[in-house]
Structure 1
Amino acid sequence: MTEARAKKLPYRSIPQMMQVNAEKYADRPAISFKKGGGYITLNYQQFYSRILMTARGLRKAGMQAGDRVAIFSENRAGWVIADMGIQAALGISVPVYATNTGVQAAYVINHSGSKIVFVSDRSQYEKLLAVRDQIPQVEMVFSFERFLGERNLPVHTLYQLSEISYPIQDKEKQQIEEQIASIDSTDLITVIYTSGTTGIPKGVMLTQHNMAINAWDGIQRAGEAQMTGTFLSFLPLSHVLERTAGYYAVLMGGGHIAFAEDVNKVVENILEVKPSAMISVPRLFEKIYSRIYENIHLLGPVKRQLFHSAIATGHKYIHAKYIRHQSIGLLGLKYKIYDRLVFRKIRSRFGGQLKFFICGGAPLDKTINEFMWIIGIPVFEGYGLTETSPAIALNSLHENRFGSVGKALGDTEFKLLEDGELLVKGSAVMRGYYQDQKATANAFVDGWFKTGDIAHIDEQGYVYIVDRKKEIIVTAGGKNIAPQPLENTLKLDKYISQAYIHGDTKPYLIAILTPNFERLIEFGHEKHINYLSVDDLVANEQVKQLFAERIALFNKNLASYQTIKKFILLPREFSTEGGELTPTMKLKRKEIYKTYKDKIEQLYQHNGEGQNSQPQSENGGKNEAN
């Protein structure tokens, strides 16, 4: 970190930031959580007191400086209280995805050497109980909810650990704040295990400096005034994007975090909380875009035409104002009229206060991004990895290019290898992989971190991610194809929800598709199709023909080697529970291939040449889900 940037960042650590802000923003709301039908709020001073109590309890429980402590929980107030308490007690937090199985959690706990584990509730505790013999080193479990544990794995509550009935005494506060003052910017803040899209998870070591400077740089790019509102938190805090941007940066900027009850109640919680900003992954915007267009096609012709005219005007407006930075004049007035008639009503469905989203984790389709800007809720698309804390590029209100992930953030530097792989240097880059010197060495070349992504950078410095280097498809004919842009285009079709494209070393491309079930059921009613279940509907010949026609439209403007020759239609969506998606909704390509290998290979038993005009489906409905 340069001396100039060190002066700009007034904190050596995240706990020190909280100590400063607890005084600076004492009465300002810090965190809110749902309980008993309503939201309970802790202000900055109350939140800080809870942090100190947790740190006190951990040191009394025997936790030593440098100990790793696991947090096995979905998003909630307990997560952030535990995380901050661990840091204030000089520990290192190790997040575990709430969707992980007991075996997966055991791997992270064992590899990190965690002796203490925080769990959210009984369901997570029971996962650990089921693998108790695999985690013999775990000495203590603390839960955010009260329940009785088993003798071989005792459990206590966070309240008991914190001794919530005994306020922090001045001497105790002084001792903990002396610990906080001793934290150096080079100390580890966390070990985050990658979500495992490419094999066994690796523990990414991030320092206090990595995450603090990344949060600070994000605030500068987004604008300090943007960070003082309410952020609704629903992405996993175990993922570095939500943790840095939706947690550390929000509290650093004096903002307020409201926790969604769970991912299935996000829409309901948005209307309750009326957030000003959110962090998300592309899947949410894909669903928003799809749902709005589903509703529009049900309107009468006059209202449909009004909507499409508003979108056309909005497209001109956002490009003139935010991309070309031109005078908008009458175009601005026209947009205001459409905003009052159309877009304001759409925004009201999101609480009416949303100013922006930050999006990362996977590429966001350009059309969907433009749509969000048009309706008045801009999405700032960024880019990063767990290994980079995460953001190393980000768009903003004043510097934005649709289709790009923005310009370099902070002191980040970029370089491209001959094959287009993006290399990075900067303050956000990790220390290395925990207990894995070989993987650490392989991740760097001449001091530059290898992102594994193929990219190009334009003359203005905007970065465009093409695809993952390992996911580039090389066909039997030697053609290099990036699957993600094609998959994103497929998902824009009103009948398609998710798409996976396969074809590495093969003579042609095939796709696995999951339908937009609402639209598909509607189609079934229109065509008077008799079916007993979704499996029957997906297996229907008229439905197969429908998707063959949709794929033919998709193929129309593509080079022959990019076209989909055959496809599989599934009667369910990809999911984290099914093993096809990571907790941040990225495709786990190896798992998808492994699950559907037999069906995929059947599609290559006969040469696909000459089938461009009519893509073929060889699926059999019920079998596709197995």
Structure 2
Amino acid sequence: MKNKQPKHMEIMSYKKCLSIKRKDGLRMRCVDEFTMNSLLRCTVSRNFKRPFMSVYGEDEVITYGKFNYIIQNIRAFLVSKGIEKGDRVAILGESSPNWMIAYFSITTIGAIAVPILPEFSKSEVNKILTHSQAKSIIVNSKQYEKVKDYCLENPSLIVRLDDLFHIPEKILKDINNKKNFVDAAGIDIKVYKRRAKENVALNEIKVEEEDIASIIYTSGTTGTSKGVMLTHKNLVWNADISSDAYVKIRPRDKFLSILPVAHVYEFTEGQLLMMMNGAQIIFLGRPPAPSILLPALNKIKPQILLSVPLLMEKVYRSAVVPTINKNKTLQKFMKNPLTRNAVCRLVGSRLKVKFGGRVKFFGLGGAPLDKEVEDFLYRAKFPYAIGYGLTETSPLVAACGAKKSDHKKGYIGKFVKHVDWKLLNKDPKTGVGEIAVKGPGVMKGYYKNDDLNKEVFTKDGYFITGDLGSVEKKRLALKGRSKTMILGSGGENIYPEAIESIFNNQEFVEETLVVPEGTSLVALIKIDYDSFAKITKLSFEDSKDAAIEYINKLKRDINKELNSFSKIHEVTLQEEPFQRTPTQKIKRFLYLDRKKKDKKTSENENNDSND
């Protein structure tokens, strides 16, 4: 068999890895150096014949050995086409085994992968390609339209991600749509025959820990995108330390991948972490709508899942709350502090069954978890874990494990070992300050942005996260983003996320956004019209009027709970879903200064009518 285990590949046992302590104080658990090359070599040597990757609903299962075989061929192909150490190669496409094959093929020859989130617009994609000066693009058919113009204007090495076929430039010129790209003839680089000179060139490549592995362009809530330079050490160290500190992953464990691998949270804590421990990764292969996700969970029965809190919050409101509300006995016991835990454990056991029945680690990150939802999960002894981090920190900064004893409600968890931290401009009364960190996971900087790099790093080398938090007994509590914090008329600090959480826990409320308007606070509220109309038994138009009355009542009730400077002055029905980043955070900047925008729109409409 072509992809048999190479004789020269030394089998690095996990036990041996656990003994590797470095001069810099770091410990290596699953690798012998913090590079993608080491990760690939060590895990393939241990798990060569084990199943590694597949897509839900498809028959093909790629073993660790086959994964490595394909990568070695594609590495040789890229080198033969002139891709050198430090060159940028973009990857644009939905999560798949081929995406990961492409990534390791790029980074193990010393080139730099530029993962692009599929949700980015054509304009954003072209800005990224231009800014990064991508020498090659690996793109799937669904996304080809976004890169077509760039490819024609900047002759590049193009690989079709769907099947890992190289599409020659002469063929590319005649392609003008998605269908043509799908059907275009190409060269199968998965079985590229390596020549002696390419093997020599590959052997001469030395990838160092401090070499850049990825430039990841963020999709922030501020509307600006920055290229985050992450090294091999940043990413591999972050995954390696997680494998020891938060979850014990066994080679027979299954991980259902539902988040975009182009996002560092899924890439590091999902893909790399599973890979270095020999687990099996199954890609969902489509958006995680309940109608698709629930059957997949039932069939796969994964031990490990990663998600953004929004998914768990939706499950809580659609499955947990109705289960309790429709049973008067459960309602009664839920209100009693003495029996509340028992109700949560009962309903929680049913929730575990919905997730396949074998989940031992459900990681939640990328955004704060709603307090009411967390309280339920905690009481139910559901195996959830919370992590905090950013793209710039590869990502993990602080976290807790999935055991109940690891948790303290209201807190993320302890800072990751070897992460040094401090709070800047700390408020002496509240203990809240801006979180700044330093450690092996912190980025090298923003690509081609020296001015911004000077702003985000302190003189003594700490990265300023932009998040506000407090620390008690080494546990981190998040308060919100420093940029979203609202300054009250009397100089008070108002955290909109805390107010939004209260509104979001009310019946029929899907999402809330609190924004300043002058010296007042306005809450934009999106409600579930279908559920509201069913309960009120009103027509759509009548239910809209009733909904306005309902949210005004909510405002009055909630204002009684808020301090004087945090009270909501006005509530507005949000008709359309909030626009979000790919990690499901609301793009707040789009909803600021509403009246100014409304006035500008009105003026434009008047001008149009006068033309």
Which TM-score bucket, shorter chain as reference? 0.7 to 0.9
Instruction: Describe the SS at the equivalent of 2:470.
Output: strand
Is 2:285 aligned against 1:280? no
Alpha-carbon distance between aligned partners in 2 of 1:172 and 1:519, rounded to the nearest angstrom = 66
Q: Give 1:136 shift.
A: 2.4
Cα distance change on mapping 1:554 and 1:7 into 2, 3 Å: same
Report the 3-state secondary structure (helix = DSSP H, G, I; strand = E; otherwise coil) of the residue aligned with 1:103: helix
The reply on whether 1:29 has 2:51 as its aligned counterpart is yes
Residue 168 of structure 1 deviates from its aligned partner by: 6.8
**Structure 1 residues 40 and 198: CA distance shift in structure 2, 3 A:** same
The reply on whether 1:262 has 2:262 as its aligned counterpart is no
Q: How is 1:377-396 mapped onto 2 (pairs within 5 angstroms)?
A: 377-396=382-401
Please say if residues 215 and 230 of structure 2, whose CA atoms lie closer than 8 Å, have aligned partners that are also in contact.
Answer: yes
Q: Which amino acid aligns with 1:144?
A: D
User: TM-score scaled to structure 2, two decimals?
Assistant: 0.84
Following TM superposition, by how much is the alpha carbon of 1:564 offset from its aligned partner in structure 2, in angstroms? 1.4
Cα distance between partner residues in 2 of 1:151 and 1:216 = 46
Alpha-carbon deviations, 1:104-152, whole Å to 9, x = none? 000111111102111122x31012225656x525442433158996526
Alpha-carbon separation, structure 1, partners of 2:565 and 2:108: 56
Gaps of 5+ in 1: 316-334, 575-579, 603-626
Name the CA distance, whole Å, in 2 between partners of 1:241 and 1:157: 34
Aligned residues: 559
Equivalent position of 1:457 in the other structure: 471
Equivalent in the alignment of 1:510: 522
Counterpart pick for 1:403 among 407, 410, 417: 410
Aligned residue in 2 for 1:41? 61
From 176, 190, 209, the counterpart of 2:214: 190
1:421–1:455: 8 Å Cα contact kept in structure 2?
A: yes
Q: Secondary structure at the match of 1:3?
A: coil
Q: Distance in 2 between matches of 1:560 and 1:69?
A: 53
Distance 2:535 2:197 in 1: 66
Query: In the alignment, does 2:376 pair up with 1:352?
Result: no
**Secondary structure at 1:71's aligned position in 2?**
strand
Instruction: Quickly say closer, same or farther: Cα 1:595–1:561, change in 2 above 3 A.
Output: closer
1:607 is matched with which residue?
none
Q: In 1, are the aligned partners of 2:274 and 2:280 still within 8 Å (CA)? A: yes
Cα distance, 1:163 vs structure 2? 3.3
The match for 1:581 is 580
> Judging changes above 3 Å, is the alpha-carbon distance between structure 1 residues 162 and 63 closer, same or farther for their aligned structure 2 residues?
farther
Q: How does 1:310-325 map to 2 (within 5 A)?
A: 313=339, 315=341
Instruction: Encode CA deviations 1:147-201: one digit per residue, 9 max, x unaligned.
Output: 99652689689995553356779x6996587367x21111111000111322431
Per-residue deviation, residues 320-348 of structure 1 (Å, max 9, x unmatched): xxxxxxxxxxxxxxx5x985x54332211
1:343–1:474 Cα change, 3 Å: closer
Q: What's the counterpart of residue 143 of structure 1?
A: 161
Is the contact made by 1:74 and 1:98 (CA closer than 8 Å) also made in structure 2? Answer: yes
Distance 2:161 2:136 in 1: 11
User: Quick check: 1:17 aligned with 2:39?
Assistant: yes
1:487: how far off?
A: 1.2
Aligned counterpart in structure 2 of residue 530 of structure 1, from 523, 539, 542: 539
AA at the equivalent of 1:266: L
1:585-605 residue CA offsets vs partner (Å, 9 max, x unmatched): 112111223677546999xxx
TM-score (norm. length: structure 1): 0.82
Aligned residue type for 1:452: G
Alignment check: 8 A CA contact 2:70 2:191 kept: no
- Structure 1 residues 215-266: Cα deviation after superposition (integer angstroms, max 9, x where no partner): 1111121133468621111111111111110111111122221111212333
Displacement of 1:308 in angstroms is 6.7
> Counterpart of 2:190 in 1: which secondary structure?
coil
What is aligned with 2:377?
372
Q: Which residue identity does 1:127 align to in structure 2?
A: K
Quick one: distance in 2 between partners of 1:16 and 1:161?
A: 29
Q: Which residue number in structure 2 is paired with residue 571 of structure 1?
A: 575
Partner of 1:591: 590
CA distance in 2 between counterparts of 1:452 and 1:594 reads 22
User: Which segment is superposed worse, 407-416 or 469-478?
Assistant: 469-478
Q: In 2 relative to 1, CA 502–212 (structure 1 residues): closer, same or farther, beyond 3 Å? A: same
Deviation >4 Å, runs of 4+: 6-9, 130-133, 145-150, 152-162, 165-169, 171-177, 303-309, 311-314, 594-602
8 Å contact kept, 1:143–1:156 = no
Query: 1:216-231 counterparts in 2 under 5 A?
Result: 216-225=240-249, 229-231=253-255
Give the root-mean-square deviation of aligned CA atoms: 3.0
Q: Which of 489, 498, 521 is residue 511 of structure 2 equivalent to? A: 498
Structure 1 residues 131 and 174: CA distance shift in structure 2, 3 A: closer
